[in-house]
Structure formats: C-alpha cells, structure tokens
C-alpha cells in the first residue's frame, strides 16, 4: 500500500502539456491488449486453451523459459560482476559484444547460433561427431532464449552492483571474509533487488522469444514449438485459438511481473 499521506508531499510540478503525450503513450500500450481481450471467444476459451497442442506449447514455454532464466543467471551474474569490478578499458568492448543481442534482430541471433551449433557449425560439427545434436531440439530452444535474454539480466545486475559501490565488500574483507564468502554473503544480498529485476526481465524476454527460436530450433510440436510459435501458427489457421493463447501469455506475464514487484518492495523505508 502506498502511504496515505502521499498527497501532502510537495511534488515537483510538471508542465501542463506533459500528461497529453503521457496518456497517449499509456493508451498505445493498453488499448491493443484490451482489444485483443475483447476478441476472445469466451464460450470456447477453455476448450481452446486446454487443447493438447496448447497445453503442450504452454508447458514447453514455461519449462524452457525457466531453464533459460536459470542458465542466464548462472552464466550472466558472474559476467555482471566481472564487468562491474574490472578497471580494464577492454571491458567496454567486451560489454558491447555481450550486450549485442539487446539490439540485434532475434532472427540474426538464431542464424548466429546455427552458424556455431548447427550440424555444419563450428562447434556443432564437433559435437555432432560425438553424437550430440543441438539444433532443432528443446536444448536449442533454451539456448536461443538464453542468447537473447541474458543481456537483460547482465545489465540489470551490473547497474545494481555499480550503484552500491564496494564499501561493504571492503569492510567484509577487513573482517576476514575471503572473496567467495564476501560474494555470497555480502554482495549477493546487497544486489538482490537488481537480481530479481534482472530475473524478471530475463524470464519475460525468454517467454516471449520467437525469432531466434524459430531460426535455430524450428517449430516441432512438443519439442520446440513454444507458445509464441503456437500463437503465430494458429493465427493462420485458427485466429480464435491464437487470441486465446495470446491472452494466456499476457496473464503469465502479468503474474510474473506482479509477484516480483510485490516482493521487491522494501520492507523498511
């Protein structure tokens, strides 16, 4: 709950015209979503959403997005720490490269993954020789999601690490805590809000991944066809199903964002 006495706080006045573009901007996002909800055929909604194709796609989506978020955290958190701590001037270049997927079209990311891990790819050929095929498997779905979503996690956590400075870490060192203990028991609790925000952004991005998945993993039902792919496919043959599934995605996204914002609200002001 926001504090009751918020109204008595002095607020910096905003220009009188400012609410106009602000409201237009808000409506621009909200109206299409509401319009889509209006198109939902509620009489067949449950049947459409619980059809085998839909539940399989939803399950695959949630499973792969969770796995991708986990992998992105395990790999991305250390990356963020190195970026935040390093004083080397090459870190800027490295950061730009690692954050590239933020600005890259996902299809291009998919092509890049194919070039590396496809059957004829640099690493893919080697793995193929040892009986490991990645492209067009569920693993490929997770990899595509990690590729596009990890930068969100890295930049979110790095920002959190930088704003806090390193005074707590220095104190911990004088108290006898080695780097590992300091990392786990001082740094991590300190940047927890940043980690949570990063996980949410990363998970949401993974859940909505489409372009890289389609390119690198294809669209095999039950194996690589996640919910966004299913929605895209159904749009062609059965618009009602597409809209119903889209609504499911919206609800899942709202639940994820809702629970985490409630949780990250500070207990003590």
Partner 1 sequence: MTAAVDGLSAHVVVPARGVDVRLTIGADECVALVGPNGAGKSTVVEALAGLLRTRDTSVVLAGRDLTAVPTHRRRVGLVAQRPDLFAHRTVAGNVAFGPRATGASGRRARDRAAAALAAVGASGLADRAPGTLSGGQAQRVAVARALATDPALLLLDEPTTALDVDARAEVRDALRTARTGRPTLLVTHDPLEAVALADRIVVLERGRVVEDGPTDVVLRRPRTPFSASFSGLVLVPGTATATGIAPDGGGELVSAAHGVPPGRPVVAALHPTAARIGRDGAGLARVVTAVEPRDGLVRVRAGDLVADVTVATAASLGLGAGVPVRIGVDPEEVSVYEPTEPAGGPAEPAGAPT
Provide, rounded to whole angstroms, the least separation between the CB of residue 96 and partner 1: 28
Cα-based distances in Å from 250 to 219, 220, 243, 253: 21, 23, 10, 5
Among 20, 74, 171, 254, binds partner 1 (CB under 8 A): 171
User: Would you say 12 or 174 has its CB closer to partner 1?
Assistant: 174
Q: Which stretch binds partner 1 (CB under 8 A): 38-46, 85-93, 165-173, 215-223?
A: 165-173
Q: Where are the alpha helices (DSSP H) in the chain?
A: 19-39, 42-49, 52-85, 90-98, 106-117, 122-129, 138-164, 167-174, 179-182, 188-190, 192-207, 211-217, 227-237, 239-264
Among 186, 204, 247, 249, binds partner 1 (CB under 8 A): 186
Asked if residue 175 binds partner 1 (CB under 8 A), the reply is: yes
Asked if residue 268 binds partner 1 (CB under 8 A), the reply is: yes
Q: Which stretch binds partner 1 (CB under 8 A): 24-32, 48-56, 182-190, 247-255?
A: 182-190
Asked if residue 168 binds partner 1 (CB under 8 A), the reply is: yes
Asked if residue 163 binds partner 1 (CB under 8 A), the reply is: no
Which residues lie below 8 Å from residue 195, measured CB to CB, with a gap of 6+? 73, 77, 156, 157, 160, 188
Asked if residue 181 binds partner 1 (CB under 8 A), the reply is: yes
User: Would you say 93 or 175 has its CB closer to partner 1?
Assistant: 175
| Rg over CA atoms, the chain | 22
Provide, rounded to whole angstroms, the least separation between the CB of residue 258 and partner 1: 24
Determine how many CB atoms are found less than 10 A away from the CB of residue 189. Answer: 10
User: Would you say 34 or 171 has its CB closer to partner 1?
Assistant: 171
What angle (nearest 5°) sits at the alpha carbon of residue 82, between those of residues 80 and 88?
125
User: Would you say 39 or 190 has its CB closer to partner 1?
Assistant: 190
With CB under 8 A, what is the number of residues at the site for partner 1? 20
Residue 189 half-sphere exposure toward CB, CA atoms < 13 A: 7
Asked if residue 243 binds partner 1 (CB under 8 A), the reply is: no
Q: Which of 133, 147, 60 is nearest to 97 (CA)?
A: 147
Which residues lie below 8 Å from residue 80, measured CB to CB, with a gap of 6+? 153, 154, 155, 157, 158, 161, 198
Provide, rounded to whole angstroms, the least separation between the CB of residue 173 and partner 1: 4
Residues that bind partner 1 (CB under 8 A): 167-168, 170-179, 181-182, 185-186, 189-190, 192, 268
């Amino acid at each position: 709950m926001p504090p009751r006495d918020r109204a008595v706080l002095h607020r910096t006045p905003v220009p009188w015209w400012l609410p106009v573009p602000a409201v237009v901007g808000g409506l621009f996002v909200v109206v299409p979503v509401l319009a889509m909800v209006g198109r939902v055929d509620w009489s067949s909604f449950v049947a459409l959403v619980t059809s085998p194709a839909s539940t399989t796609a939803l399950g695959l989506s949630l499973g792969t997005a969770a796995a991708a978020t986990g992998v992105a955290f395990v790999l991305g958190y250390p990356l963020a720490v190195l970026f935040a701590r390093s004083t080397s001037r090459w870190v800027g270049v490295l950061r730009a490269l690692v954050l590239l997927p933020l600005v890259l079209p996902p299809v291009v990311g998919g092509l890049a993954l194919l070039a590396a891990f496809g059957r004829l790819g640099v690493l893919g050929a080697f793995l193929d020789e040892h009986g490991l095929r990645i492209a067009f498997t569920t693993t490929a779905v997770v990899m595509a999601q990690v590729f596009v979503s990890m930068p969100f996690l890295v930049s979110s956590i790095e920002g959190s690490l930088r704003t806090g400075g390193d005074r707590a870490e220095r104190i911990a060192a004088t108290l006898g805590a080695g780097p590992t203990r300091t990392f786990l028991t001082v740094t991590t609790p300190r940047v927890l809000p940043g980690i949570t925000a990063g996980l949410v952004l990363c998970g949401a991005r993974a859940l909505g991944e489409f372009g890289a998945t389609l390119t690198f993993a294809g669209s095999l039902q039950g194996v690589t066809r996640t919910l966004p792919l299913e929605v895209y496919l159904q749009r062609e043959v059965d618009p009602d199903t597409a809209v119903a599934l889209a609504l499911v995605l919206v609800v899942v996204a709202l639940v994820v964002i809702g629970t985490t914002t409630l949780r990250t609200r500070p207990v003590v002001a």
